[in-house]
Structure 1
Amino acid sequence: MIKTPSILVVDDEPNNFDVIETFLSNEDYTLYYASNGNDAIASLENEAPDLILLDVMMPELDGLEVCRQIKDRQKWKAIPIIMVTALNSKEDLANCLESGADDFIGKPVNSVELKARIKSMLRMKTQYDEIQKFSILQRNTINTLAKNMDELTGNIAISLSHELNTPLNGVVGILQILKTDFDKFDHDEMSELLGLALFSADRLVDLTKRFLLYLQLELSGTTNDSILPQESVFSLSIVELIAQRCAKNYDRIEDIIFDIEEAEIAIAENYLLTILSELIDNAFKFSVKGSPVTISSRIQNHQLHIIIHDGGKGMTPEQISKIGTLIQFERETYSQQGVGIGLKLVKMIIKKVNGVLEIKSIYRQETKVMISLPIITL
């Protein structure tokens, strides 16, 4: 039996719902209505819509905040959201994308465009649901072969498809706008839109590279060959370069503190850069602007001890114990989304060079990541 697609329409103006209902009267959809953001979020506890049409301009809880709250919840984040807005500046578009919206449509709503965008999003949702079904089948099969792979495989299958779709939707959405309204944008606006598309594309490339590195490290564990028999220099200039690049993404250049002792260490340079990039980015991502992020290092007992300390959200002992299982811990903002692979990569690389990784954290107060790497001795 084929399930009729359901659509939740969120708008503080009942007349707008009547318009959408009229536009879709010949389509086989089940429509629900919520007059404000709080009611919309509450309704998701009982209803599971296949799509949400969400008005941006609403009192109290606006559409952008509603979108963020929905996308921050694991059980709801796969629901496609089309933002309905009378706003049309490039800043408004950027805000919609940043909030996690999958698509958007301008007011006054055009019937043909509305139907086309709904069909496109529902088709994407159907594909996602098929991936979910396949992942369940895959997980059950793997459980019979190796029980200890259950948690790892399940989280890869469930989260990776969504994390690939998020930046991909950003690229496709902007290209659709440029194709439809090409003549309406001046040079600066078009440059801004292409910049947003490039940002999403870079995110997609970065995720792909990290996942391929993860697979490379996993496969190398099944052979006697090591892929890390090299050396590199841990220097202030390298740390500054990575830290400033990460801090710039969060507008936090002033928050960096360095206390570096340099050394030659037994690890390939590209893997050292991966470790530093992942840990320093996390320090900024999960702490607030204005709080210091300290990066220090000391040589002791033929080891280089690196410490990255932040005064951010911290981790619970249970979360620390699960590092390496590709589980996403609680996220408070859309910018903290990820596939949960970063700390797993760090842990795998450090293990391969006979290093040590230790994390000490006070929940909601601070996190201190300590790495010990073997130095090159003459």
Structure 2
Amino acid sequence: MNMPSILVVDDQPDNFDVIETLLSKQNYLLHYAASGQEAIASLNLFQPDVILLDLMMPGMDGIEVCQQIKAMPQWQPVPIIMVTALTAKEDLARCLKSGADDFISKPVNAVELRARIHSMLRIKQQYDNIQTLANIQVSTIKVLESTLNELRGNLVSSLPHELNTPLNGIVGTISLLIEDIDNMDSAEIRELLGMADQSVRRLEKLTKQFLIYLELELSTHQQQNIEPQSTHFSMAAIEAALQSHPQSVDRSNDFIFAIEEADVSISDRYLAIILHELVSNALKFSQSGTTIKISSQVVAGMLNVSVHDFGRGMTEEQISKIGAFMQFERKTYEQQGTGMGLKLVQKIVERCGGQFSISSVYQQETTVHIGMARLKSRNTCDLSSLQLLT
């Protein structure tokens, strides 16, 4: 924590020497200004947390200095303690009316001086804490607003369908079981439960995608601390991603691997999400019988990973508009999903200090390129609340 900054304003340097002596054992950073004009001019330089202001000064007196400082919004929260030899109630009232937060009488008593400064610093700290929370709140609101704007896309048309389809599957299956379970054999019951399970998993995936997306947005804007981690990129990690996609079993012969393994500066959780989403996209947008190639290579301290498919491809305009709830040609192909997958991958990679790009030929092929740093803990990222989508 930085030492509190105290600005002493007094036309008599000897008075500053006295205050410096009285506060010599305190952990304060003391500054001196010989006039009101000098004090006002030095505010940005000294960034005071408390101001000790002499009342009786030639030219601009303490009352006027206090009024001018308190008239500046950025310095209004800084407590001002008037130092005065006057004791009349009218004079003290003038000090408080000018905006002073406290006063202390001359000759200055060491115990009283330290107590009043400590009290004012505590008030300033409380204000700073409140201001920090307010800034976080404003930042959070801005993040949510920008996120909502980004989510608009084809939200109105796609989200109701993505929510209603699995919900209808769950409700419909339960209704059938309630109405006719006594007349069903075990095979029929298992089939219905399997359909309900697929709907639940689809709904669960959508919910987790939402949570991960918002978590990434908030953590980026709030600059949350990240615990260093290193994860081994390997065939085992890729196989785990494939296993989370039942449809990949029917296309096991379509996959080609050219993998160079390496330790990368990313959490295993983030790596799992990236691989899951990239495999999901490649399977969704390419036909069975076409090749999907997953490759990786270490180049100049980076692990470059690419996932290539001979599928629908994307135009340059579509690539430039990749975002949450941006699914292209949805009506033509009637695919499931929210269009959030590639945006999640992009956010994770960029948050971890990596590189993300897409190259594609429309109606022919697509390659997603990712560059991840190797063994550089300052680029490592993790959020403990994120979990692999399954």
Report the TM-score, using the length of structure 1 for normalisation.
Answer: 0.58
* Structure 2 residue matching 1:324: 3-state secondary structure: coil
Distance 1:207 1:323, change over 3 A: same
User: Mind listing any 5+ residue stretches in structure 2 that lack a counterpart?
Assistant: 1-140, 378-390
User: What is the letter of the counterpart of residue 230 of structure 1?
Assistant: Q
Report if aligned partners of 2:257, 2:295 keep a CA contact under 8 Å in 1.
Answer: yes
- Pairing 1:343–2:342 present: yes
Q: Distance in 2 between matches of 1:185 and 1:284?
A: 35
User: What is the letter of the counterpart of residue 255 of structure 2?
Assistant: I
**CA shift at 1:165, angstroms?**
1.6
Map of 1:39-188 to 2, 5 A cutoff? Answer: 150-153=149-152, 155-156=154-155, 159-188=158-187
* Structure 2 residue matching 1:181: 3-state secondary structure: helix
Distance 1:190 1:308, change over 3 A: same
Determine the structure 2 residue equivalent to 1:219: 218
- Pairing 1:283–2:320 present: no
**CA shift at 1:154, angstroms?**
5.5
Q: Distance in 2 between matches of 1:360 and 1:195?
A: 38
| Per-residue CA distance 1:353-373 (angstroms, 9 max, x = gap) | 111111000010000111000
Distance 1:296 1:372, change over 3 A: same
Distance 1:212 1:159, change over 3 A: same
Distance 1:158 1:151, change over 3 A: farther
Report if aligned partners of 1:247, 1:281 keep a CA contact under 8 Å in 2.
Answer: no
- Pairing 1:204–2:203 present: yes
Distance 1:267 1:151, change over 3 A: closer
- Pairing 1:360–2:362 present: no
**CA shift at 1:235, angstroms?**
0.6
Q: Distance in 1 between matches of 2:227 and 2:165?
A: 32
* Structure 2 residue matching 1:222: 3-state secondary structure: helix
Q: Distance in 1 between matches of 2:215 and 2:360?
A: 30
User: What is the letter of the counterpart of residue 199 of structure 1?
Assistant: Q
User: What is the letter of the counterpart of residue 266 of structure 2?
Assistant: I
**CA shift at 1:151, angstroms?**
4.6
| Per-residue CA distance 1:65-110 (angstroms, 9 max, x = gap) | xxxxxxxxxxxxxxxxxxxxxxxxxxxxxxxxxxxxxxxxxxxxxx
Determine the structure 1 residue equivalent to 2:229: 230
**CA shift at 1:377, angstroms?**
6.0
**CA shift at 1:160, angstroms?**
2.9
**CA shift at 1:159, angstroms?**
3.4
Percent identity of equivalent pairs = 48
Report if aligned partners of 2:324, 2:338 keep a CA contact under 8 Å in 1.
Answer: no
Determine the structure 1 residue equivalent to 2:54: none
Q: Distance in 1 between matches of 2:152 and 2:219?
A: 18
Map of 1:265-344 to 2, 5 A cutoff? Answer: 265-331=264-330, 332-334=332-334, 336-344=335-343
Q: Distance in 2 between matches of 1:277 and 1:223?
A: 27
Distance 1:291 1:158, change over 3 A: closer
Report if aligned partners of 2:315, 2:362 keep a CA contact under 8 Å in 1.
Answer: yes
**CA shift at 1:226, angstroms?**
4.2
Determine the structure 1 residue equivalent to 2:188: 189
Distance 1:151 1:238, change over 3 A: closer
Report the TM-score, using the length of structure 2 for normalisation.
Answer: 0.56
Greater CA radius of gyration, 1 or 2? 2
User: What is the letter of the counterpart of residue 164 of structure 2?
Assistant: N
| Per-residue CA distance 1:208-240 (angstroms, 9 max, x = gap) | 111101110011122121447422110111112
Determine the structure 2 residue equivalent to 1:251: 250
Q: Distance in 2 between matches of 1:171 and 1:234?
A: 37
Query: RMSD over aligned Cα, in angstroms?
Result: 2.5
Q: Distance in 1 between matches of 2:222 and 2:145?
A: 19
User: What is the letter of the counterpart of residue 282 of structure 1?
Assistant: N
Map of 1:24-35 to 2, 5 A cutoff? Answer: none
Q: Distance in 2 between matches of 1:356 and 1:341?
A: 18
**More off after superposition, 231-240 vs 257-266:** 231-240
Q: Distance in 2 between matches of 1:149 and 1:203?
A: 22
User: Mind listing any 5+ residue stretches in structure 1 that lack a counterpart?
Assistant: 1-141
Report if aligned partners of 1:361, 1:367 keep a CA contact under 8 Å in 2.
Answer: yes
Determine the structure 2 residue equivalent to 1:133: none
* Structure 1 residue matching 2:287: 3-state secondary structure: coil
Determine the structure 2 residue equivalent to 1:242: 241
Distance 1:214 1:146, change over 3 A: closer
**CA shift at 1:241, angstroms?**
2.6
Count, aligned residues = 235
Q: Distance in 2 between matches of 1:361 and 1:304?
A: 21
**CA shift at 1:242, angstroms?**
1.5
* Structure 2 residue matching 1:369: 3-state secondary structure: strand
Determine the structure 2 residue equivalent to 1:52: none
User: What is the letter of the counterpart of residue 218 of structure 1?
Assistant: E
Report if aligned partners of 1:243, 1:256 keep a CA contact under 8 Å in 2.
Answer: no
- Pairing 1:260–2:280 present: no
Report if aligned partners of 1:359, 1:370 keep a CA contact under 8 Å in 2.
Answer: yes
